[in-house]
Structure 1
Amino acid sequence: MQVLGSITPLSAPFQDRIASQILTESFKAKHILLQPGETARRIYYIKEGFLRAYNVDENGKECTSWLMGANDLMISVYSFFTQRPADEYIEVLADCILQSISYHQLQSYYADFREGNYIGRVLTEKYYILSEERSIFMRTKTPEERYKILLQQHSQIEQLTTQSNIASYLGITRETLSRIRAKILRPHLTK
């Protein structure tokens, strides 16, 4: 609730409604929160932990689209907002504590509380901007630049997930990632 309150003041009735409806759950690493064919019924706030969203292509290759950590939201956007089956997985990468609300609860916040609409708009804008930044990042940055940016965004990424997941997120092979890591993390070895 502190996160929402940092966006705009929350009325007592809104705070009471959220407090009575928010679901707090713990999940272990490797737990699948959503898989293709299921409909995303909840939007998750990551209190602790690290998650990823990914698709599997026709060749069985995993393609990671999002990596999210503490204080981020995790959602299958298309599935949640259309209430249709997802095409992606959401996987817990590091043990986590998640807080969530349902699609119908969110819609009631929009309908019943002015600040609910405002918060929804601010968060939608934030994550739309992140999506646009990711799209630009993938089109205009070199693999080495993408890796450096990822390290800035998630300084503990190496401890939170596998090299395969990192490479998948960066749109490169594990071998390319190994070369980049050697160059960046151990520059004295490449001279």
Structure 2
Amino acid sequence: MHAQNELINTLNRIYPLSPPLEADLRAATSELIDVPPRTILLRPEQVASVAYFVVSGLARVYAVHGINKAIDEQIREVESTTRFSQAGDLLMAPISFFRQQPSLEVIQTLEESVLVSLPYATLQTLYHTYPTFNIIGRVLTERYFLLAENRAYCLRRHTAPEKWAWFKVTHPQLQGRIPLKYIATYLGLSREHLQRLVEPAWRWQSKNEKKDQV
């Protein structure tokens, strides 16, 4: 019940839900998913049939790179993180979900997480049945798009210290929760370069180890 209330409250802050819509949303999201850390929720070539609402925990979305066929060599960074999702956020591979086509991205939990899933087919039914729900869908899509655009602008125009400063301002709740190697690929930096910029408080430590992980 608490998890559903979090989801309903989040949506109500965007646009008021009618009682019938709220009832249908509660019915559609009655099942909670308790996911261990480092669980893969979506793999490349799979179609993202559900979107998730993060009740608690942390996850990331990343693209996997392979061989550069033009030169027949392995790309230096085999992954590039495109998004971190924490409590109160949506978690999805947007191109695969909205177009219902094979994904180019991976969804992975970083911490033990509690998720609410909303199937694509159910979402489309809610859009059709309740036209006002389309307003909420548009606002959430705009937020996702603007976050991606802000990151893209940061990667194109900023120096490494500016990228790190931007990340700290835009993701303060992630301090100490993410290995630096994931933040580095999110910012388009090498791990070695980022390591020289990061303050000790931002270094990730596992629950079972004393030493910093990068």
Residues 38-93 of structure 1, C-alpha deviation per residue, up to 9 Å, x if partnerless? Answer: 11011111111111111121226111111121111111111111111111111101
> Who is 2:54 aligned against?
46
Work out which of the residue numbers 17, 27, 43 in structure 2 matches 1:20. Answer: 27
**Normalized against structure 1, the TM-score is what?**
0.90
Q: Pick which of 157-166 and 68-77 moved more.
A: 157-166
Separation in 1 of the partners of 2:142 and 2:174?
25
- Aligned equivalent of 2:189: 172
Q: Is the 8 A contact 1:167 1:173 kept in 2?
A: yes
Task: Look up the SS of the partner of 1:66 in the other structure.
Answer: strand
Equivalent residues of 1:94, 1:161 under 8 A apart: no
Q: Contact 2:175 / 2:201 at 8 angstroms: preserved in 1?
A: no
| SS of residue matched to 1:160 | coil
In structure 2, distance between residues paired with 1:143 and 1:180: 8
| Residue matched to 2:9 | 2
Report the secondary structure of 2:26's partner residue.
helix
**1:81-138 deviations in whole A, cap 9, x for unaligned?**
1111111111101111111200001101110002211111111111111111111111
1:56-95 alignment to 2 at 5 Å?
Answer: 56-58=64-66, 59=74, 61-95=78-112
Tell me the CA shift for residue 153 of structure 1: 2.5
Further displaced range: 169-178 or 141-150: 141-150
Unaligned runs of 5+ in 1: 186-191
- Name the structure 2 match of 1:188: none
Report % sequence identity: 33
> Higher helix share goes to which structure?
1
Q: CA deviation at 1:155?
A: 2.5
Matched, 1:34 2:51: no
Judge which range, 153-162 or 74-83, deviates more. 153-162
**CA RMSD, aligned part only?**
1.8
Residue 182 of structure 1: how far off its partner (Å): 5.5
Match of 1:148 in 2: 165
2:143 maps to amino acid: K
Label 1:82 to 1:151 Cα distance change in 2 as closer, same or farther (>3 A): same
Corresponding position of 1:189: none
Question: What is the alpha-carbon distance in structure 2 between the residues aligned to residue 44 and residue 183 of structure 1?
Answer: 32
Question: How many pairs align?
Answer: 185
Unaligned runs of 5+ in 2: 1-7, 67-73, 203-214
- The alignment partner of 2:45 has SS state of coil
What is the CA-CA distance between 1:180 and the residue it aligns to? 1.1
Amino acid at match of 1:128: F
Report the residue type matching 2:97 in the other structure: F
TM value normalised by structure 2: 0.81
